[in-house]
Structure 1
Amino acid sequence: MREDPALAYRAAAQKLVDLSDDVSAERSYEAVADALSDLRVAVARVYGARRRQADGVGGARQRILRYLTAHRGEWVSGAELAAVSEIGEWARRIRELRVEEGYDVEENGGRYRLLSETPDSERRDRYRMVTKLRGSDESATDRIQELFDELVGKAVTADELDRVAHGRGGAGIARQIRDHELLPIESSADAPDLRTGEHRLVSAREVDRLHPSQRLFPEDLRRQVFARDRYMCRKCRRRHETVDSLGEVFYLVVKHLDATPNDVAGLPGDDLRRLSRLATSCNRCYASGL
């Protein structure tokens, strides 16, 4: 006859109580682990299929969140979270809490701590927006175009581009959109505050589109010109950081010193890409012919 699970639960719980002194002295680990195992088995027998309903919505992820919340600001070990969640993929649940739900969970050497009980709603909503775009039936190009439209003026990460593109190649599609639509989409070549792989649509307004001649200056060439000029317009001497606070549309373009934008395409290839004849200009000076 099978043992009454409630009796088994009491026995295992009593065994743990009896081992309290050993735990305080950090002894008898195997005995404590066996008692815990017996307790888990008894609980599983009591609740059976009703366990998830009794546990509430979210399962392991919510158990981890409750534990982190109860110890907010304290470092807890991965071993604790594994025990709380009772699953092998507890680290994935931490990532979900951080990325999908917007909780500020800090990690350091296999330890974790929750810094705030209130999730970052902007980060959460952004993740959900990216997920929604990823599930769209539109082409990868249209999905990424929509992503930029949703996040005008904000850096879009390489991971977000790849997620929306259903794999790798998101950055390449961003460059294609820039060249085809002449949208001022910056990369780390154009703006020093962007990390490798990040892109940013500066403006979606028609008046702010690039001149067609900018297609002649690929990303690697722009990087060389802008880095040499310290990402500063040679005419007005402005940089990104000097205009960001004003909310002004500002981005850098390549200006050829020997030809107007309309005549650049007629230059020989060597003359077109000779660094000594290329200069950094901001969009405003470039549009004014300065």
Structure 2
Amino acid sequence: MAKRRAFNVEEARNQLIDLLDNFVTLSSTSDLRSKVLTLIPAFRLLSEVGMSVIPNYSEYSARERILIYFRQNLLTIIDTEELMIVSGISEYPRRIRELRVQDGWPILSGQTVRSMLDAGEWEDEAIDVSRMRPDQYILLENEQDRDAAHRWGTINRIRKQNISVQDKIINYLRLNVGRHITGEELAYLANGATDWARRVRELRTEKGWPVRTKTSGRPDLPVGVYLLEEDKQAQEHDRKIDDSVRAAVLERDEFRCRKCGWNRNQKRPEDPRRLLELHHLEYHAAGGKNEEGNLITLCNVDHDVVHRDHMNKEQVFYWIGINSL
């Protein structure tokens, strides 16, 4: 196959001038089709000029050019017109879907971001998405998720089930414990229900599932990403601990387990410690309050030990090696 000649922008500019001059000459005629046929090569040439902003653009497909542009503009709101220019095609939404579904790039649409904003699930002030339009896009991470194709197959299976949106979401998250799940996945799973982000929030705040985001306990997560830390639902009484109390206890205990010192930064795949939990020193069933003075931070492993051995407050203090909080 002959090598394609390098694109010359100056030459293209001169050709466009000639084509447009020809169009102006025809503009006084009544032959509509002649006008249209005159503009076709101009349209094609403009498209090629647009694609040429990507170095060595002829070596890449439209999908690859779109990805290159996204990766060079990480966490930046991208307009549809920009994607039309760099891709050179009108079917760029399909290419974005392929990048998301087949290749695992975390690209969110403005419609998905709006659902997250409405539910209070997007609170990162560093990225102002308050005016993001439904047809705009943003790439969250400059990293590919190679399990994406398998996950989207799972999404399509769950999506068809005759259950509530909230049940679909938690079923999907439980199949992907510890994995980064984008809002786009959950929005598609909800099959048109625009309140999906609110349902996720309820799973965390009312149902006791440890679904974390950048603004709800996992500042290390990219904005727009959800993660189920453990396939374990909190006890009903633990779900009623006010966020302000929970935050105060974690800050007092320096976001570490008071027994072993573990924190989330030490999380490893082979380590059974997954999250920090608050233990009631005076058991809730025995009248213990959801108050700072009755709560202590333990990792999930040590918390299980305390309950397995039915330790009372004094035994917990002795086991940890302290006299009081």
TM over 0.5: yes
Alignment of 1:146 onto 2:171 = yes
What is residue 170 of structure 1 aligned with on the other side? 196
Q: How many residues align?
A: 225
Question: What SS class does the counterpart of residue 296 from structure 2 fall into?
Answer: strand
Could you list the runs of 5+ residues in structure 1 that have no partner in the other structure?
Answer: 1-19, 43-62, 107-118
Per-residue CA deviation, residues 75-99 of structure 1 (Å, 9 max, x unaligned), is 9x756546x32x3x63x24422321
Residue type of the alignment partner of 1:260: Y
Amino acid at match of 2:103: G
* Structure 2 residue corresponding to 1:133, chosen from 150, 158, 165: 158
Distance apart, 1:100 and its partner CA: 2.5
1:286 alignment partner AA = H
- Closer/same/farther in 2, CA of residues 219 and 197 from structure 1, 3 Å limit: farther
Q: 1:147 deviation in Å?
A: 0.8
Amino acid at match of 1:163: Y
CA change 1:234–1:255 in 2 (3 A) is same
Q: Whole-Å Cα distance in 2 between the matches of residues 41 and 25 of structure 1?
A: 14
Cα–Cα, structure 1 residues 104 and 172, in superposed 2: closer, same or farther, change >3 Å? closer
Which residue does the alignment assign to 1:24? 11
Q: In the alignment, residue 193 of structure 2 is paired with which amino acid?
A: G
Deviation at 1:143, TM superposition (A): 0.8
Partner of 2:101: 100
TM-score normalized with structure 2 length: 0.52
- Are the equivalent residues in 2 in contact too, given 1:232–1:280 (CA < 8 A)? yes
Q: Which 5+ residue runs of structure 2 have no aligned equivalent?
A: 1-6, 24-34, 42-57, 73-81, 108-143, 307-315, 317-325
| Corresponding residue for residue 239 of structure 1 | 263
**Is this contact kept in 2: 1:250–1:283, CA < 8 A?**
yes
Cα distance in 1 for residues equivalent to 2:158 and 2:302: 36
1:278 is displaced (CA, Å) by 3.6
Indicate the SS of the match to 1:255: strand
Q: Residue type of the partner of 1:27?
A: N
- Higher helix share goes to which structure? 1
- Residues 219 and 79 of structure 1: CA distance in aligned 2, closer, same or farther (over 3 Å): same
Q: Which residue of structure 2 lines up, in the alignment, with residue 215 of structure 1?
A: 239
Instruction: Give the secondary-structure state (helix, strand or coil) at the position aligned to 2:297.
Output: strand
CA contact (8 A) 1:189 1:219 kept: no
Superposed displacement of residue 148, structure 1: 1.4
Aligned to 2:227: 200
For the residues of structure 1 that align with 2:188 and 2:9, how far apart are their CA atoms?
A: 50
User: How far off its partner does 1:237 sit?
Assistant: 1.0
1:148 maps to amino acid = L
Give distance in 1, aligned partners of 2:85 and 2:261: 55
Distance 1:97 1:39 in 2: 34
Query: Could you say which residue in structure 1 is the equivalent of 2:137?
Result: none
* 1:123-156 alpha-carbon deviations (Å, 9 max, x no partner): 2332343344334322112211221122122233
Sequence identity, in percent? 18
Letter in 1 for 2:61: R
